[in-house]
Structure 1
Amino acid sequence: MELYVFAESGEFLGVIDLFSSLRWRRRYWEPGEVELHLYATEENIALLQPGVILRRVDRKESARVMGIDIKGYELTVSARMLSIYFGMALVIGLKSYTGTPAEILCQLAEDARDSVPELVVDRADLPTGDAITIQLDFKNTLKAMTAVAKAYGLGFRLLYSTEQKFTFQVYEGADHSAEQTDNPVVYFTDEFQNFIDAEYSLDESDYCNVAYARGSDGTIVSIDRSKGGRKRVCYVDASSVTPDGKTDSEYRNELKTQCGWALFDHIKTENFTGTATDVENFVYTEDWDLGDKVTTGDSTIGKTLTERVTEVEEIYENGGVTVYPVTGKTKSETLDLEDL
């Protein structure tokens, strides 16, 4: 396996084909990580300086070298997938964004052009969704994008081409769970011998199905998902959301977006933790890929869940490769944009 090294300007710099180990960790809604170990020769050190881009012909994502470390005869190279460029950008001043979650991610990318050279936003085949409105004031662009992507189950990536183009894409993985019939089903379970050390948990202590939000002028809106059952209510302080420059409909829509995010942050959490390993019965990048929904489970407790593959770690060493998919729900750690 070869790594092609390019300058940000598109100039080809060289090839890395000899290394002791490579960890290529892809992530669905934030930049993945790369760690490369090889001999600390003069040529390798000169080639792998921070700012160069590592490409693979067998993966869509590329990575930007962020730093190097030399210890004895070993050179360790640390890199991040190219969406890390958005971590170098900032939403300047108070701005509102309206559209589907995928459209808002595209809008945020476009606002980061100063930090992303030659940006092209690919709007073909954008995932669909209901319109939302968010308001940001001097927030880190990448943190805002990750919050939106996690809340709505979307992935995003920044692709590199030697024509000096950085192409931004929003995507949604395919559904390979047992709950659907359109695609082949993929199982990560003990019965298929590709899911071990399983641990199941179910927690509804923080669950809410009704949310109220109050804007800066005292306007109150709510979302009720109790479906006529027992209500579990939460409140959102949306005093930072103002009606300035908005129609009444736009203002209420933005407040309802705050309610929706509050409910995303107060869901029932049901998860399996464990180690899913790629084996021959479901081949990585052919039967399943990053962002896809799969069925996970453990026959000993009689539980199965539909989970999304949120990370894939590829480890290349000693002449072999091991693939570890990580699955999890789409609940964000926080959906409070004030904390970004």
Structure 2
Amino acid sequence: MEIYLFDRTLHMLGMLEAYTSLQWVRRFYKPGEFELVMPIPAKDTDAASLLTLLQKENIVWPKGKDEAGVIDYTHPEMDDKGQETLDIKGTFLTGYLGRRIVWDNLYLTGTAESMMRTLVDKNAVSPSDSGRVIPMLSLGNTHGIADTGIYQTPDDGRDNLGDALNTLAAAADVGQHILFDLPNKSLKYEVWRGLNRTVGQSENPRAIFCREYENVLTQEYSDSNDDLRNVALVNGKFTYPVTTQKTDSDGNVTTETTDVEEAVAATVGTASGLDRCEAYVSSDSSSKIDTGAQDGDGNTIYTYLSKSDFLNLLAQDGTKELAQHAEVQSFSSKINLYGNLSYQTDWDLGDSVTFFSRRWGLQLDTRITEVKETYEENGMTLVVTFGNDLPTLLDKIKRVVK
């Protein structure tokens, strides 16, 4: 695997000739990551050149890949035998979006694809402040994903753009990535979804993974409801204007508009009995929307959602919360590269496939959410995650902090 290095303007700096291992981890809902390990040359000038080539913010591109990664961690090390190695880590270019917040007050409705593209456009492609533009980033092709939703800027703060996109992607079951368009020296953001290759459909060739077909070498299954929440009570404050008229002693009529707040709640989910696992969400969504315009006196002009629209917004907040606490059913498998299914031909990241184990009595139709490619001297290995993996401690901490 040839690896090329670029600076942030996509000017090619050179090619990496020798490395010990490359881990290239592709993810569906959120940015992937990579790790590159290599020996440091003995000659001082060669060592200095390598460290310059692999410095932070430079871009790593394995030849032929649709995506590239940006270096955010470098770690040269010498062991007790004097052997020096360099460990490089980074995120795929979609991670650039985590460097922005959702700057303006926004209330968006429509498809998840259109909302995510709008968020990227307004905060990274063509924001009002040119200093917020991510160079060379544009919106790529649309894919006609019809799932609908709602997004609103929090009333008491601002979302990190990357986190907002990851949450929308997981709730709508769509993928996102920034494509590395080297010929045109551009970066293109797209929202996408893979093919349905499950056993129960006939539109696409089926992809069935199982030991019986000898296309998996190892398999690990997780089935957990430890973090499950499937019904949410979402509380919010519905704000609406009330206009009153007053007549003074001279008969002059004045009009005054004031805001009134009403506590309302929405319920998401229908499970009952012992199958019901409840969550409480205190929503910071608002029915009072800042239009960004001002009247002749310099006062901000607001528009107000109807109660039904606001309840839909609360329901969307509940849906996002439940998506982070879904039941976990996932397989992790090392793939047989010489089996009957070829990577990126018969299956790929984002595809829905069938995983089957006769011995364990399991059949799972699920999406491929992660592919870990490892390149070493003895060849390539693939480890695939089917379905949603168990949340890490860091994932849980982020939820609490948020």
| TM-score relative to the length of structure 2 | 0.75
Identity %: 24
Question: Which residue identity is paired with 2:63?
Answer: V
1:152 equivalent in alignment to 2:152: no
Shift of 1:338: 8.1
User: Does the aligned pair in 2 maintain the 1:151–1:330 contact within 8 Å?
Assistant: no
Whole-Å separation in 2 of the counterparts to 1:339 and 1:202: 24
Residue aligning to 1:59:
65
- 1:178/1:43 CA distance change after superposition, 3 Å: same
Residue aligning to 1:215:
236
Q: Which aligned pairs between 1:242-261 and structure 2 lie closer than 5 A?
A: 242-245=286-289, 246-248=304-306, 249-261=308-320
Return 324-333 or 159-168, whichever deviates more.
324-333
Secondary structure of 2:49's partner? Answer: helix
List per-residue Cα deviations over 1:142-191 (Å, max 9, x = no partner).
Answer: 11211111122111111233444221111111111112111111122221
1:300 equivalent in alignment to 2:318: no
Segments of structure 2 that go 5 or more residues without pairing to the other structure are 41-46, 79-83, 125-131, 238-261, 290-303
Q: Which aligned pairs between 1:258-297 and structure 2 lie closer than 5 A?
A: 258-265=317-324, 267=326, 269=327, 271-280=329-338, 281-297=340-356
> Which of 209, 224, 241 matches 2:285?
241
Q: If you compute each CA radius of gyration, which structure gives the higher value, 1 or 2? A: 2
Residue aligning to 2:113:
102
Q: Which aligned pairs between 1:316-335 and structure 2 lie closer than 5 A?
A: 316-329=375-388
- 1:52/1:205 CA distance change after superposition, 3 Å: closer
Shift of 1:67: 2.1
> Which of 151, 173, 188 matches 1:167?
188
List per-residue Cα deviations over 1:102-157 (Å, max 9, x = no partner).
Answer: 22221221233226223201252242212323333322211121111112211111
RMSD: 2.9
Whole-Å separation in 2 of the counterparts to 1:239 and 1:130: 20
> Which of 83, 87, 101 matches 1:76?
87
User: Does the aligned pair in 1 maintain the 2:179–2:188 contact within 8 Å?
Assistant: yes
1:201 equivalent in alignment to 2:219: no
User: Does the aligned pair in 2 maintain the 1:278–1:284 contact within 8 Å?
Assistant: no
Whole-Å separation in 1 of the counterparts to 2:400 and 2:207: 38
- 1:205/1:59 CA distance change after superposition, 3 Å: closer
Shift of 1:56: 2.8
Whole-Å separation in 1 of the counterparts to 2:390 and 2:310: 25
Secondary structure of 2:66's partner? Answer: coil
Whole-Å separation in 2 of the counterparts to 1:23 and 1:235: 37
Secondary structure of 2:366's partner? Answer: strand
List per-residue Cα deviations over 1:277-308 (Å, max 9, x = no partner).
Answer: 14321111111111111111211132100121
Tell me the matched-pair count: 336
